[in-house]
A and B are shown apart, each in its own frame.
Chain A
Amino acid sequence: MASLFLDLVFGDVPLIHVFTWLTNGTVHEDIQELLTNETENVRYSFPLLLANFIREQSSCLLKLHNVNPSEQNIVSSPKREIFIPTVHNLSLGSPSPNSRNGGNCQETRRIRKVTPQRLDLSNDSAFPSLQQSAQLREIPKKRRINPTQLVDSPVSRVQFGSYSKPSPPPITGNAFNQAKEQASPKSFDQERALLKEKKQQLTIPAMPDLVNNTSKTWTCVEPDMNFVTRQTELDRLSALVSFCVSRHLISSLYNEIHFLIQLLVIRVSPAKLKQAHLAAGSSSLLLGSVHNCVYFSAKTLETLEEVWRHVDPTTLQQLMRNPRLLLFSPEWVNGKLTRLFSSLKTEDRIPPQKTVANVAFQSETDNRFNFASDSSFQFFRKQRDQFCEVWQIWKVNSSIPSWNMALGLQKMIQSLVDLRRDCVNYAHLARLFRSQLLNVAQLVKPVNYEEERNGPLGQLQSSDPDKLRRLRERLINPPDSRPTRCVGSESDIKMNFEGDQEFFRDFILLAASPSFNEHLKNNLLSGIQDLSSSDDCDDRSQFAENVIALQVMAKFLAFLHFYPHASADHLPEHVFHNLSRLRMSQREPIDLVSYIKEAFHKGRLVLVIPWVVTYLTLADPVAFSLPGFHSVLCHLIFIYRKAELTPANAFLVRVSLSWLFNQPNFPLPLLAKSDEELVVQLRHHSLAVDDQLPQLDRSTHLVDPSLIHQCCPYLWSWKHLLAEFACSDAKSSGEGKASVSRKITPVSAEESPSPVKTPNVKSLQQSLEENFFQNQPASVKRTVEFVAERLASNVVRDIRHQIIPRLVHNAQASLKTWRDSFATVKDPVESLCRQLCLDVRNESISSATSAVASIESTLTALLPNDLLPPVQRVCVVIASKLTHGKVVDWIHLHVTNGLFKNDLEVELAKLDKNVNRRLTSTPSATVNDNLPVVHDPATLAPSFLIERLKTLIRQVIRDASKVTGQEVAELLASTDGTLHRRVDVTPAVSKCLQQLTFDFLFILCVFQPESVGSQTIVAWVEFWSRAYPSRESAVLLETEEQQPPGASTSIWQVLTPKQLLLLAQSTAPRESWTLVSTLLVQLMKAGLIRYKDVQEQAVAVVRQEWPQMNIRNVYCCWWWTALVAISATVGPPLLCDGLKVTGFRVPSLALYGSDVELDCAFSAARNAKLYSVKWYQNHEEFYRYMFEERTPVTAFTRPGINVDVSFNIAIISKNIE
């Protein structure tokens, strides 16, 4: 084959014939003989062969590139040296699993451990710490480089650190083997020699060496127009290459340009050159000299107008400033390129993307109704917060090199992920994860070039471009300079994540939760599905957002899917086959072929291809050999060759694809297939192409350079090459650099047939509807679906928030009456639920119907107004049908007996509870219930009022400061105002006020009876009964028995020991007593105090000892009388149960030492049996009468009491009758 190229380039066959042949296969007689009957076979592999041919021609020179004479000892990593040069004659098309570029295996890979450049960086004060750590790590982006490593690139040096894994050795068929056979053994020898050298070198400490290196400079051959030889041949070659590139015949667009730039910046030292020439005698090669290389490169780059139109301004700038390019094609640089550059400047950029960094809480998807239970909801609340916390911790710490994520966060992550092993929680967590991930992905802002050029960075560019470059690399690719904090084996797959995405990758790894992974996978899948088919991509920023979101989701989906298959080792053939057999029937999580097909037909390739490529980039070697993948790849190759897109879109698609084709795992034979072999399926379906639809691929405004660079981060390597050249040039040190270049060997393989999809069978109505929408503008369908969805959602919300609560409330109310009337019904809840369910369903349906009524007007407003009325009617019908369907679905799913059961049972339990302790319920709850209160800020704030009351009480008790009647009245007024004219009074506060006001009045009665009149008391009691109506009084008697003893917690405690103690401190007892009894009477009249309470309180008082009040004993007696008298007048008789105290007489005052007659008259029902009558004094019993006893009377002698027994008996016996 090589001869073919030589003939083409040297010969006089017009190139135009070659071009025609390549384009449509017609062979002109001039080239007939050159091809020697291989026309079709060679036609498709021709571009690949051409690319290889050029590499071959320049290989000798590139080998010498950048070799620093001061570093004669070339060190290569021992691990990487597992190098099997295979120069076997594998036949074309042998389906080898690792079929990769064996064509270049004769090339040596010389790897230096440390480069001057790196060292320079680490010494640079600008980036001390990060650089330090970076040296220990590999650079992810650069890991993808295959073994056809060119000599001594700065990139490879870092990459082949001691823990890198060997990449699969090339054992592959090669079309070029014949041409190269002679060269290979030699390089193999060289390789061995290198290895030897390296081994010796290993014992020498590296540091002094490095120090030496930095100080050394060396010269290199500068290209010169005058030394270019064989100019015509080079021109022809260049024309061939540029033709192939521009017609998309060369499948590795990205790589070719990279290679050309490499040629452009080649640096070879004269001494080395001489050596090489002597050794190899390679001067006969076309690209055997620096001059030729640069000339060829410049000529070719010049023709690739299409490419430069879409790269970012910085790359263009670098090109413009490249001295060699200026030298070799000044007209182009100064003319077109400059114009292009200035036109780019004015182009408006994608508006700044989102700045919101958090995931918003959406009540539609995140509230309680989206969870199965309260506990699930509560747990997720915790999970959400913990997730955000972990993310924040990572953000803060990730830039600290010594920080270890596994140590710091593993426990937290694991506990949060599995906090509740429940599918609902996993699903929500996965959703949160995805949302946060997408948020972060969108946050990456495109570099602002405008600012860069004019601002401080621009100045830096002119003064120290090297530093700027490093700075930018750092900003764009943080992981380059940041150690990967990761557990587990190092793997290529992991290297695809950079920046903040590392967090999410490590989160998945550290969580190590299969359930979570599964949910996340599903979530990503549905996300991709939604976005890929989403229609709102017309807006430019929206489009950019979607493209990036899709890429990120695809990347993580691929990570989840392929990570289990990653291997750090090279797989031996039999293992490889076993694995691939195992996975033969494995289902791919995502049907790429159908996505691609759909995208092709709908003209959305520009949206879909980037994420498909991202997905495939992460695939493992075995996956690429699976039949499912085969057809995907065929489609992609076809698209690369044939897809018709607007230039910018095409560039994005093709660069992405070419990147994929360059993946080390990619089965290269496919690339050499003919169109006919590749895709049969795509064509057959193409009748469905709908030209009416707005095609994203056809639009010209969606893609711009910054988006391209964001989607294809690897494009930075072009810039990188140029910038490196520029900076080493600027330093005028001889350390020019070349970077990686890769070669592709075309090998053909049998194409495996892909399964053809069978169309689904649909019902007639459905297909009618489908066709209806198919022929209408797409917006019609969208509008109808949208309206239906929104309406249904509104109806559902109405049902949930209005209808259900109302009906449930009614049911709860009816439950109360049921208790009384249907006490026999066994399960009132069950039947109520059934009834309720029916009611809700009926009401819901009717509300849906009424909602549907508004559809017509809505749709008329929204649909295109040139629609025919019947069409509109159909739309309305479909929309209402959809709405109804949705509502009904919802009802059947959610409105079940179980929905209400809980509510009603709770209510029932509450009722039971209430019955048990009805007295404890807070009376104040009703304060603000009825009327909407207009807030009056002029009234006292409740907290202020509390403070004031507290202070007043304190003052009255402690300091005996006077409170006037006026003040009391004012206080009443302001309390009233606060309670009734403010909206910020909480129940607890209201209750506190109740207590405090009562205390205040009582204490005032005791300590300052003069400032309280009975009028005041009446006013206050009236206020209380208004503000705190007693709700118990009505239901009091019937439930008396159930009340636990001592449960009375009413605030109106007039007669408790404490109050009596207070009363005892009164300075004017008589007045105080009077007031207090007025208070008591008023309270009882208002129904605030129940008779029963008074009774209880009285008993409690009697049981107390009042030792220190002996002197006032008499008051106590008097008071007791008063109490009972009041009871007799106001309340029902003291005792119930058929026993009535009809009279009670105790003298209010008595002389010390005189006789007192105590009289208690009562009447009992006929059948009632009295047990005893007892009299107490100060808690001590002094008299007892037992009716059943033989000697009923017992008198206990107490100091100061002599009981006249007989007298009492007489009274009692009389009353018994």
Chain B
Amino acid sequence: MSAASDSVYKLPYRNRVQTLQKLFPQLSVDTLKCVVAQECQRRMKGSHGRLTTSEAVEVLYKRYTNSISMSEEPGILIRLSDENGLTPALLARSIIERHYKKSDKTKPAKLLVSTLMKNTALIDDRDLAFETYLCLLEDDEYGPIAEATKQSVGYEYEIRLRMELEKCRVSFLHEEHLRVKGYDKTPDIKLEIPVAVDGQVINWIESKALFGDEEVHRGYLKDQLYSYWNRFGPGLVIYWFGYVEDLEKIHQNRIILIRDALPMNMIFMEQNS
């Protein structure tokens, strides 16, 4: 899997999933999608600031308006995005921000821009509206549609985890229960009766519908997993789309298991006294 993560970097930006699929037929599409998405996000994190300075956006906007006035084929922004490196949705967003620039040259309100992105029909310029719409359809990582997809996937797997646990007759509280009870940190699943997996006791389970590479994992450790460990003891994190080998060793002495599915070899506490 790490090989897949590495070769991602050498591919052109769009349609990389299909290319990777040919390269690594043994891996699932979801895994590859995740790898690609995470690479893309990392790239954007690095270059977004540089690519969206007001000067850079001005240049892009000029090119866009030129293309419009030349009545180029629809898909102008997508072509621009391929060339420039910003993902289509981010590019569209920058262009909208520029388009709605106020008279005193300040950016328009964030809320307005997000509303326009969510419902492109509201954009007053029909060409920009259509171009933006095409961009959103094209972008798998950013924009409202991609966000909704990602959120949905996360939630779907959470539900799936809950159902599998119910099937195994594990008693647990999930996030919403915990929130009602006033917990300050809420893992997806907190086992009310701990179970053992591969010789380790686990007290909570966190579901992550993505691919666990080291950077992602470190981020979660810092924000979530260590906090859970501090409160509830050892636990389990599930990276549904796979994870890099040897990820567990970066926890040092805090036991947090990593799996890519709910382990079926759970050992339960004996109930009959």
Contacts and interface: CB of A to CB of B under 8 A. Distances in A.
B134 A983 contact: no
A641 interface: no
A943 B160 CA distance: 13
A941 B156 contact: yes
B102 interface: no
A1058 B152 contact: no
Contact of A935 (B125, B127, B151, B163): B163
Interface string A940-982: 0111001100100110011000000000000000000000000
Nearest to B133: A1058
B227 interface: yes
A989 B137 CA distance: 15
A325 B124 CA distance: 103
Given A946-B145, A953-B137, A1104 B231 contact: no
12 contacts: A357-B233, A358-B232, A363-B183, A384-B231, A396-B252, A935-B159, A946-B148, A984-B158, A986-B155, A995-B118, A1058-B123, A1061-B127
A1056 B122 CA distance: 7
Of B123, B126, B149, B233, which is in contact with the most chain A CB atoms at under 10 Å from its CB? Answer: B126
Interface of A: 356-361, 363, 366-369, 377-378, 380-381, 384-385, 388-389, 392, 395-396, 801, 935, 937, 941-943, 946-947, 950, 953-954, 957-958, 983-986, 988-989, 991-992, 995-996, 999, 1049, 1051, 1053, 1056-1062, 1100, 1104, 1108
Of B71, B130, B138, which is in contact with the most chain A CB atoms at under 10 Å from its CB? Answer: B130
A988 B148 contact: yes
Interface in B46-76: 71, 74-75
Interface residues of B, number: 51
B180 interface: yes
A195 B118 CA distance: 89
A984 B180 CA distance: 19
B7 interface: no
Interface in B172-229: 180-185, 226-227, 229
Given A358-B230, A388-B230, A1108-B71, A992 B126 contact: no
B23 interface: no
Query: Which 5 A-B residue pairs are closest in the complex by CB-CB distance?
Result: A367-B182, A1058-B129, A361-B231, A1057-B126, A1053-B121
A1059 B163 contact: no
Contacts of B85: none
Given A359-B231, A935-B163, A992-B144, 6 more contacts: A385-B226, A946-B149, A995-B118, A995-B119, A1056-B122, A1061-B126
- The binding surface of chain B is classed by DSSP as helix
A363 B137 CA distance: 45
Nearest to A386: B230
B151 A989 contact: yes
B148 A950 contact: no
B230 A1049 contact: no
B130 A1061 contact: yes
Contacts of A992: 144-145, 148-149
A360 B181 CA distance: 15
A392 B255 CA distance: 12
A610 to B, nearest CB: 29
A361 B183 CA distance: 8
Nearest to A361: B231
- The binding surface of chain A is classed by DSSP as helix
Contact of B138 (A363, A954, A1060): A954
Given A367-B182, A377-B184, A1056-B122, A358 B159 contact: no
A1051 B182 CA distance: 37
B185 A361 contact: yes
Contact of B121 (A801, A942, A1059): A1059
A943 B149 contact: yes
Nearest to A368: B182
Contacts of B247: none
B153 interface: yes
B119 A389 contact: no
Contact of A385 (B115, B126, B230): B230
A1104 B252 CA distance: 64
Given A988-B148, A1058-B120, A1061-B129, A381 B185 contact: yes
Interface string B142-170: 00110111111101101110010000000
A946 B152 contact: yes
Contacts of B159: 935, 983-984
Nearest to B163: A935
A626 B183 CA distance: 47
A942 B159 CA distance: 12
Contacts of A377: 184
